A and B are shown apart, each in its own frame.
Chain A
Amino acid sequence: MLFFSFFKTLVDHEVTVELKNDISIKGVLKSVDQFLNIKLDDIQVVEELKYPHLSSVKNVFIRGSVVRYVHLPSAAVDVALLEDATRRGTWNSEMG
């Protein structure tokens, strides 16, 4: 749940989602769910020339399983808190 929890705080921030098929999509994170499916708005494909078929797409819903990376806006990440959250995640997994 850590990642879900984390990505929820990034809603309305601009992120770049790199998919497993090498397409990188930059857009405003609109929502994320427990499966880390991602909804992006105002998207732009990073290599637009390479993927012209996506140039007219304005928003996407990305199945979580096809995401390779999500590039985060560093300003919107509280590292210390994230560290703590990670520790808690460890607790939970140890206890559960």
Chain B
Amino acid sequence: MSFFGLNSRGPQDHGHPAQAPGFGAAPDPFANISQNQGLGQEDNDAIDFDDTYDGLGDQLQEADDDFNDDTFGGGGITTKSVGKDFDFYGSTSKVTDAINEEALRYNHHQPSSKAIVASSSPSKHASKAFKTGYEAYKNPGYIPDLQVDASLWGTGPPQIAEDYGAKRSSRGAGPSYPQSSSGVPAKKMMSLEEVEAAMRSQPKRPSPSLAPQQQAQASGPFAMPPMQQQAPQVAPPQQAQISYPQQMPPSRHETEQAARPGDFAQAPISIQQRPQSDHHVVRASQVLKVELPARSSPATQAPQVAPAPAQILQRGQNAPHQAPDAQASPQPRQILQNPNRQSAQFAPRPPEQALPMQPQRRAPPSGQNGAQVSVPIIYHPSQIMHLSDEERNAYLVEEAKRAKRNHKIFLLSKGNGLMTPQDKNFITRIQLQQLMTATGNANEQDPDASLSEDFYYQVYNQIENRPRQNPQQPLSNFAQTYLFRTGGRQGGMGKRQRGGDSHMQRMEQQVQRAVEAAKAKPKNKQLVIEGSLGKISFSNAKTPKPLLNIKRHDSSNVSNQQSSKRAQVALSTTDRKAILKNIEAVYSTLMRMEDHDRRLPPPPPEDSDPTAVQKVMDWQQAFQDLNENLWRDLKVTEPILPDSAILHPFIAFLSYPKGKKAIPRIFNHIDENQRLTILTMIMVHLDILDVIRQAQPGAQPSPLSREQVDLFLQAVMPSLFSYVTEAPLNIVIGLLGLVTERVNLSAVARTRVGLEVLTMLLSRAAIVKATEATDDQTWDEWLGIYNRFFDLLEPLLGEVFPASVNAGQDQYVWQFLAATGSGANPEQQQRLVLAVKDRVMETLQQSKTLPPEMAFQRRGNVNLFMQAIGLDVDLLDG
């Protein structure tokens, strides 16, 4: 049976908790919380600091703490000012030297406050001592000796506790001390008397009763986990012996402690803990040598400390023999278990501070203070146990929150200062560079390049008339704008920012250089590292890494030639694919022409230099070339093969929505003759246009063909109409002549598109007659054509109306009739009226049953025709 009672149990149960921080590790403020949650409630009870801490730490705070600020820095020591991240070992160890010095100086300068010095400074030494002592654990191969730390078990820890407890009263599940857990773990609320009684009873059954202590210590922050973890590896007897190292020569120990004033009484003890193995002894004495000069600035103290090493050595040798002694003597264990008593005996304390009840008596006032706030301010852990459950819970919740926040801050601040300003600038540069390459080259002089990159967005915004920068300004200026704006802001901040200013300039230059370099770099899209099987392909936003790499076997030129050759052949068969290709070619040329329009140079002034004139000439030449291209692509001038089963390429072109949509744009870029040619071509093929062929009233028109008709009326007709409205009469005569001679008028007259085209021609003639002076010969010519047309039309008049009267979709028919009537002679007008009389009466009749608005519209339609022949609907009503 070992003193620690560890043999029978797994080390993981009683050793240093795996998740708890070691001495060297930075303390995790969360550790206690999670630990408490993770462990059973029983464990919690057993080690609950609140229940067991005797609150001796308060005693020191009560009085003679005038110089605490000097010692510990800062103003009022409250939970808030101190903070909750008990980074004691982590942070403090870094400044241990400084603290030691501080303490030394404090001791030196304040000999009068011996009491404080005696109790507070040793704790520092102790803390330092076991900090340095466990540095060896950083060495993975190191197996520590299992010496009990005197400063923990003896007078050390309580003083630490006093110290820390006072300073860091916020430690919720604070340190639990050996004496604290002497009772049965399940027994939660023990009075001090009970605790004491339990402790007194302990000597009778030393080992078993001490085991729980171990447990308790293991859970507490001040536990000696490394030692305990190692414990099972060591033979039990030895363990037992080394458990009492400082007690081996009890009387001597006592006298030492008693004799030495202040902190020096503690120094040897803290050193004594360590030495067991030989090398360690050496190390310890070294430490001692180092520590002593530093600590004992009063030179006279040195001799008093001197015996310590000898003692260490002696103990190291004698240890095995002394074990029985140690167990036999109850006194040391009492010291061990109740160090406060011990120190009360030794230390020259004010009597009232020695009273264990002190903190309890003191608690209520502070509790009252705290009651003013919702959550009482806890200056000392012992206060917690005097709070009501509610308050305590609130306090603990608050604590958990704070700890959480601090933990978060701690986690967040991990990366603080990781990057230097230079690093950040570097990143910024990379990002800017990315931006430049992503949005286009800022140095690109050709706005078209960026336009083609970002065509949709730019043109869309132009069309939508959104507030934006000059359309000629490429978007790639964004990157530059960004740079300039930043630079401008720097400049605006004042000239004292010279450094930053030049820095920004440098950055701009650098970015520009980088972009230049990227431009100059050969466009090697792949990198094949020698000896490697794979290829590394570069990609950026502009040219993303191709997921599919399909190689074209022909160069684009060859394929173009081939396809054009094929197109020649295919067109004769009106191959759908060939026609679509044609249309695409037209579009392509159209867009080039539109681009070309944007590059129109300003007209050179009279006395301009030849280069400007040359520019205009070049532009015109290029325009001409493009125009020829377009004309060729349109294939309007392909020979018309009468009675051929093959659709003329241009009519085929028009049969596709894309082709129809292209017409307005084509009309913008061709001259009058070309327009007339197109118009003529349409007139000649009027009856075989898809919009007429597929829209015959007999067959139910498919939604698709209806769409086509609508599209034709929207896209093609306006262009034709705009041409015809300015055409001279002889052209109108020619076009009408084509219709009457070459086109199946019955097919045309029964469709909307056909009627509208005819309306267009007839109305133009009527307008020419009304507004322009025409020579008689031309007019006679027109009348001749018209008469022939009318004769052809008359038998069809019954069929021009679509559907029934009720549909109400006959406005265009009335317009056509009006146009026809306006050009007719009285005899023709009579024939016209006779032909459509029934429809007129039906429509008027029907309009009377309709709501006023619709009725008005219908009557208006009819009236349009009636008025054209000099009548009025009202006459019929009357």
Residue of A nearest to B466 (CB): A9
Q: A5-B454, A9-B457, A35-B541 are in contact. Are A81 and B463 (CB under 8 A)?
A: yes
Q: Does B142 interact with chain A (Cβ within 8 Å)?
A: no
Residue of A nearest to B458 (CB): A5
Partner of A84 from the list B438, B464, B591 (CB cut-off 8 Å) is B591
Q: How far is the CB of A70 from chain B (nearest CB, A)?
A: 15
Q: Does B455 interact with chain A (Cβ within 8 Å)?
A: yes
Chain B binder among A14-22, A23-31, A49-57, A86-94: A86-94
Q: Report yes or no: B591 in contact with A1, Cβ–Cβ below 8 A.
A: no
Contacts of B459 in A (CB 8 A): 81, 84-85
* A residues 1-19 in Cβ contact with B at 8 Å: 1-2, 4-6, 8-9
A82 to B439, CA, bound (A): 19
Q: Report yes or no: B556 in contact with A1, Cβ–Cβ below 8 A.
A: no
Q: A1-B542, A78-B463 are in contact. Are A84 and B453 (CB under 8 A)?
A: no
Q: A84-B587, A91-B588 are in contact. Are A5 and B541 (CB under 8 A)?
A: no
Contacts of B587 in A (CB 8 A): 83-84, 87
Q: Which of A1, A9, A34, A85 is the most central at the interface, judged by chain B CB atoms within 10 Å of its CB?
A: A1
Q: Report yes or no: B452 in contact with A94, Cβ–Cβ below 8 A.
A: no
Q: Report yes or no: B463 in contact with A92, Cβ–Cβ below 8 A.
A: no
Q: How far is the CB of B659 from chain A (nearest CB, A)?
A: 13
Q: Report yes or no: B584 in contact with A8, Cβ–Cβ below 8 A.
A: no
Q: A87-B591, A88-B591 are in contact. Are A34 and B541 (CB under 8 A)?
A: yes
Contacts of B541 in A (CB 8 A): 1, 4, 34-35
Contacts of B543 in A (CB 8 A): 96
Contacts of A80 in B (CB 8 A): 661
A78 to B464, CA, bound (A): 10
Contacts of A5 in B (CB 8 A): 453-458
Q: Report yes or no: B584 in contact with A88, Cβ–Cβ below 8 A.
A: no
Interface of A is mostly: helix
* A residues 31-66 in Cβ contact with B at 8 Å: 33-35
A54 to B410, CA, bound (A): 30
Report the number of A-B residue pairs with Cβ-Cβ less than 8 Å.
60
Partner of A34 from the list B438, B461, B556 (CB cut-off 8 Å) is B438
A8 to B475, CA, bound (A): 12
Residue of A nearest to B460 (CB): A9
Contacts of B455 in A (CB 8 A): 2, 5, 84-85, 88-89
Contacts of A92 in B (CB 8 A): 452-453
Q: How far is the CB of B23 from chain A (nearest CB, A)?
A: 43
Q: How far is the CB of A6 from chain B (nearest CB, A)?
A: 5
Interface of B is mostly: helix
* B residues 434-461 in Cβ contact with A at 8 Å: 438-439, 452-461
* Mask of B520-550 contacts with A, CB within 8 angstroms, 1/0: 0000000000000000000001110000000
Q: How far is the CB of B526 from chain A (nearest CB, A)?
A: 15
Q: How far is the CB of A93 from chain B (nearest CB, A)?
A: 9
Q: How far is the CB of A85 from chain B (nearest CB, A)?
A: 4
Residue of A nearest to B556 (CB): A94
Q: How far is the CB of B364 from chain A (nearest CB, A)?
A: 47
A62 to B344, CA, bound (A): 69
Q: Report yes or no: B453 in contact with A85, Cβ–Cβ below 8 A.
A: no
Q: Report yes or no: A88 in contact with B452, Cβ–Cβ below 8 A.
A: yes
Residue of B nearest to A6 (CB): B456
Q: A5-B454, A35-B541, A94-B556 are in contact. Are A81 and B588 (CB under 8 A)?
A: no
Contacts of A2 in B (CB 8 A): 455-456
Residue of B nearest to A84 (CB): B591
A34 to B461, CA, bound (A): 18
* Mask of B540-578 contacts with A, CB within 8 angstroms, 1/0: 011100000000000010000000000000000000000
Contacts of A81 in B (CB 8 A): 456, 459-460, 463
Partner of A8 from the list B457, B556, B588, B591 (CB cut-off 8 Å) is B457
* B residues 459-482 in Cβ contact with A at 8 Å: 459-461, 463-464
* B residues 173-219 in Cβ contact with A at 8 Å: none
Partner of B584 from the list A6, A85, A87, A94 (CB cut-off 8 Å) is A87
Contacts of A85 in B (CB 8 A): 455-456, 459
Contacts of A82 in B (CB 8 A): 456
A94 to B454, CA, bound (A): 16
Contacts of A83 in B (CB 8 A): 587, 658
A88 to B584, CA, bound (A): 11
A33 to B431, CA, bound (A): 14
A74 to B252, CA, bound (A): 97
Contacts of B658 in A (CB 8 A): 83
Residue of A nearest to B543 (CB): A96
Q: Report yes or no: B454 in contact with A9, Cβ–Cβ below 8 A.
A: no
A82 to B661, CA, bound (A): 13
A94 to B559, CA, bound (A): 12
Residue of A nearest to B462 (CB): A81
Residue of B nearest to A78 (CB): B460
A48 to B463, CA, bound (A): 37
Contacts of A84 in B (CB 8 A): 455, 459, 587, 591
Contacts of A88 in B (CB 8 A): 452, 455, 591
A63 to B194, CA, bound (A): 66
Q: How far is the CB of A65 from chain B (nearest CB, A)?
A: 11
Q: A5-B453, A34-B438, A34-B541 are in contact. Are A87 and B588 (CB under 8 A)?
A: yes
Q: How far is the CB of A4 from chain B (nearest CB, A)?
A: 8
Q: How far is the CB of A9 from chain B (nearest CB, A)?
A: 5
Residue of A nearest to B588 (CB): A87
A96 to B540, CA, bound (A): 14
Q: A87-B591, A96-B543 are in contact. Are A6 and B661 (CB under 8 A)?
A: no
* B residues 88-114 in Cβ contact with A at 8 Å: none
A81 to B463, CA, bound (A): 10
Q: How far is the CB of B528 from chain A (nearest CB, A)?
A: 21
* Mask of B156-182 contacts with A, CB within 8 angstroms, 1/0: 000000000000000000000000000
A78 to B457, CA, bound (A): 11
Partner of B457 from the list A6, A89, A96 (CB cut-off 8 Å) is A6
Contacts of B661 in A (CB 8 A): 80
Contacts of B456 in A (CB 8 A): 2, 5-6, 9, 78, 81-82, 85
Contacts of B457 in A (CB 8 A): 5-6, 8-9
Residue of B nearest to A93 (CB): B543
> Given contacts A78-B463, A84-B459, could you give 4 more A-B pairs where the C-beta distance is less than 8 Å?
A5-B455, A5-B456, A33-B438, A34-B541
A-B contact pairs, 6 of them (CB 8 A): A1-B454, A2-B455, A5-B456, A9-B460, A84-B459, A84-B591
Closest CB pairs A-B (n = 4): A34-B541, A85-B456, A5-B457, A5-B456
